[in-house]
Structure 1
């Protein structure tokens, strides 16, 4: 399933601390999502007092910065909300949290609704303490108000490979930039008015060749083959998840050549993924797969573990990385 959504794999790594790093200079990058002003109200759906306090601590951290003001509301119909889940399947596998931007918009194209999630299952499994869970909550609130991920290795709460950094000055500067830069035209606003799911995984594989090396290392199964069946489980216009059936032609790790296997990619029945494209029967693809506790195959970090066969150049078979459209040779993928 090729995705045009912004699929953030904010890997909060399995470390209790990070080595000291020099301060990051550039402001945290911004996304195309904005509230009408630098404030928004959210309803806290969490029933756990522990997690309600985590979302409250995250709100206070943002409000202390004075860059953006979050306020809690008792309105259960609020289009912006925070909550927690405990899931370990589908798109939730190894996902610490998620933000779903653009759940609703006003006529001018400003966002009026977003959802922010923490995944109790993964946070507990990898022993995140309360401060680290608060950092994840701050991170999800950052996505919701309009921040993208910062660079790998940056000193930023929006670093995709961090669980220990709190809100930093670069993040505050990013928010100030987002809300001081006017959108020039109504057309530009309209183009931004599309929902976007941000998934924050325990690991990040977006660091070009080093990310691919990480995928190769972590994947339990790496195979190349031809799609024979692709079923999108969705409701128009929002796709939820896709089941792909692959006839294996080459085995690099795991399943044997000549066999057929089925794997899932994308969301779940509860979580929508928009603007996705199911693969067509006959397409050649190389996939890096993991297995759930129930023994079901899934693409590692969704699109980050899928590569489409494009063409051959100078004797090398070339593959396009679905998540970022980078081209790799086959020998780089196993």
Structure 2
């Protein structure tokens, strides 16, 4: 084999290796990106909000308080308790919502794209009917608060924002999503006033699921 042919073969081999590495890197980066919980375009103007627990049931006050503490412990968003009816987030229960759902969150944005008001409710009738444990009810409340601060549903079953979640609390992928959402400027464009509603269906308990 002549020197010239060797050089050609080496060049081809190096070129092929470069392409393989590039393709591998693309798939790795794509996979990593999709693992982060999706966030919407709406958010509060800063990673904090006042919240009023409007429910008179002591057990559901505890559920909401546990969910609030869980988000506050992440350090990426802070809820401050308020007794004002004008609090930015009103959290409670509503047994009158559709029997398909464990929770429902409605948020409204202003003309700057920032969230101006949120109403979020758990469905105690359905949570009781399908035997949600207190920890699982807290997971649902954490999920609803995730919507309240701007997170969307995740395809990752281990995310608190998985649409059929009853098993998992807040995960690192959810925390990263909030960091990303509140770390990026909205820009100067004007946004129309909008209202968003997130409905979260119940899920039957599956044997072998971790009790988290």
Query: What is the TM-score when the length of structure 1 is the normalising length?
Result: 0.49
Distance 1:179 1:35 in 2: 8
Residue 11 of structure 1 is matched in structure 2 by none
Secondary structure of 1:183 counterpart: coil
Residue 127 of structure 2 is matched in structure 1 by 123
| Residue 82 (structure 2) pairs with residue 73 (structure 1) | yes
Spell out, residue by residue over 1:161-205, the C-alpha distance to the aligned partner (whole angstroms, 9 max, x if none).
221111100000000000011112323xx14x300111111159x
C-alpha displacement at 1:94, in angstroms? Answer: 1.7
Report if the CA contact (8 A) 1:24-1:155 is conserved: no
Residue 97 of structure 1 is matched in structure 2 by 103
The within-5 A match list for 1:30-49 is 30-49=39-58
Distance 2:203 2:92 in 1: 22
**Structure having the higher Rg:** 2
Unaligned segments of structure 1, at least 5 residues:
1-22, 205-334
Distance 2:86 2:114 in 1: 19
Residue 62 of structure 2 is matched in structure 1 by 53
Q: Which has the higher contact order (CA 8 A, sep 6+)?
A: 2
Report if the CA contact (8 A) 2:93-2:123 is conserved: yes
Unaligned segments of structure 2, at least 5 residues:
1-31, 205-212
C-alpha displacement at 1:32, in angstroms? Answer: 1.6
Distance 1:143 1:100 in 2: 9
Secondary structure of 1:164 counterpart: coil
Query: What is the TM-score when the length of structure 2 is the normalising length?
Result: 0.76
Structure with the higher helix share, 1 or 2: 2
Secondary structure of 1:92 counterpart: coil
Secondary structure of 2:103 counterpart: strand
Distance 1:68 1:84 in 2: 23
Distance 1:24 1:57 in 2: 29
Residue 177 of structure 1 is matched in structure 2 by 180
Structure with the higher strand share, 1 or 2: 1
Distance 2:73 2:87 in 1: 23
Distance 1:165 1:25 in 2: 18
The within-5 A match list for 1:82-231 is 82-87=91-96, 92-102=98-108, 105=110, 108-151=112-155, 153-187=156-190, 190-191=191-192, 193-203=193-203
Distance 2:153 2:58 in 1: 29
Distance 1:114 1:178 in 2: 17
Residue 254 of structure 1 is matched in structure 2 by none
Distance 1:25 1:186 in 2: 27
